[in-house]
A = this chain, B = another copy of it.
Amino acid sequence: MTKKRTIYNIAKELNLAPGTISKVINQTGNVSDLTRKRVLAYIKEVGYVPNNSARMLKSKRTYTVGIVFTEESDVGLEHSFFSSILQHFKTYVELQGYELSFIVKKLGQHELSYYEWCMNKRVDGVYIVVGNYNDKGLYELIDSSIPAVSTDMLVPGLHTVVSDNELGIKLIFDYIKEDLKLKNLAFISGPNSSKAFNERVDAYYKFIDEYELNNVAEVIYAESFGFTSGYNAVAKLLEVSKNRPELIMVASDDIALGVLKGLSDMNIKVPEDIQVVGFDDIAFAKHFTPSLTTIRQDRKLLGETAAKLLIELMNNPHETIEEIVKLPVELVIRESTQKK
């Protein structure tokens, strides 16, 4: 077992004072170039890493960022979209020397609010991976002075990095107008509790007008986020729409794949009879039959941008930084659409 290293015994071995070691590590105070080099070299040689607990106990900064997945919406690590963003976020902040710490309301016997946990753990900042607008506890956190970012929630006062939903919808409309040359459209959204879905719906209505195309039915709101809700939604859509749409835009790929399956089960051919476009570009979109034309969200960019933003916020708590960062998206054309 390797010997336990502390600034104390390092100092002794170098004939210096513990405080000096601390100073060079933290790049604070004055220390001669020579000793700095000497200490740095020695530290590297023996692989010394400061004890985080002691550090956290003593100083203001903990180099820890809290991760919150609202427990109200019960999506966690297994959700591929969010966990992918989180993975990229994690990689980035770790490179900058920050650790992740999950914030959960209940840990063993102890139950606190998100905010109280963050104070208790003294995290330098928080990343709200997925939030729920009905979770009161979240607002306490958002309204606090703890630096926070999200890649999901749009709430005044919260810094958020999101894909440009309007741009995504616009790309689809451009494609419809220029290549597909279709007229009659319909839209299937996810639950309207999600701001992202609502933005997509709004953009849809906006561009339907602007491009002078025809919306064959009121927007259908799927009852949930998954495949099955898409399957049901498309049946409902065709039931209520006066004219059959030539193309259905769907607010997310998960739902869109259900739509594809639903159409197939109704013996409606995609793309010959109806064309379909999704949103997200989940892994399976390209493997489905037919493969799904969709708007790709750049998960890596989302995670890294959120990381960068949070680090900036943590370093300059009082600087005013643009609250919403919109990231570009791109259209990925596959088999579910086709030029006539």
Chain A residues engaging chain B, CB cutoff 8 angstroms = 1-2, 4, 47, 49, 51-54, 56-57, 62-63, 76-78, 80, 83-84, 86-87, 90-91, 94-102, 104, 106-110, 112, 116-117, 119-122, 227, 257-258, 261, 264, 284, 287-289
From known contacts A87-B76, A119-B2, infer whether A97 and B108 are also in contact, taking CB-CB under 8 Å: yes
Q: A76-B90, A77-B87 are in contact. List 8 more A-B contacts (CB 8 A).
A: A49-B117, A52-B120, A53-B122, A76-B87, A77-B90, A95-B106, A96-B108, A257-B287
**Complex: how many Å from CA A227 to CA B289?**
13
A78 in complex: contacting residue of B1, B54, B83, B112, CB < 8 Å: B83
Q: Is the CB of A94 within 8 A of B83?
A: no
**Complex: how many Å from CA A199 to CA B57?**
48
List chain B residues, Cβ under 8 A from A99: 101-102, 107
From known contacts A80-B80, A83-B78, A284-B284, infer whether A94 and B106 are also in contact, taking CB-CB under 8 Å: yes
Q: Is the CB of B51 within 8 A of A54?
A: no
**Complex: how many Å from CA A243 to CA B332?**
40
A137 CB to nearest B CB, Å: 13
Q: Is the CB of B90 within 8 A of A109?
A: no
List chain B residues, Cβ under 8 A from A109: 97
Instruction: Closest B residue to A54 by CB, please name it.
Output: B57
Q: Is the CB of A101 within 8 A of B104?
A: no
List chain B residues, Cβ under 8 A from A119: 1-2, 4
Q: Is the CB of A121 within 8 A of B78?
A: no
**Complex: how many Å from CA A100 to CA B63?**
16
Q: Is the CB of A102 within 8 A of B90?
A: yes
Q: Is the CB of B87 within 8 A of A94?
A: no
Instruction: Closest B residue to A91 by CB, please name it.
Output: B76
Q: Is the CB of B77 within 8 A of A83?
A: yes
List chain B residues, Cβ under 8 A from A53: 52-54, 56-57, 62, 122
List chain B residues, Cβ under 8 A from A100: 102
A49 in complex: contacting residue of B112, B284, B288, CB < 8 Å: B112
Q: Is the CB of A51 within 8 A of B120?
A: yes
From known contacts A77-B84, A116-B2, A119-B2, infer whether A49 and B227 are also in contact, taking CB-CB under 8 Å: no
List chain B residues, Cβ under 8 A from A80: 78, 80
List chain B residues, Cβ under 8 A from A107: 94, 97, 99
Instruction: Closest B residue to A98 by CB, please name it.
Output: B108
**Complex: how many Å from CA A109 to CA B96?**
8
Instruction: Closest B residue to A25 by CB, please name it.
Output: B109
Q: Is the CB of B84 within 8 A of A94?
A: no
Q: Which 4 A-B pairs have the closest CB atoms?
A: A97-B108, A78-B84, A53-B56, A77-B87
**Complex: how many Å from CA A102 to CA B102?**
10
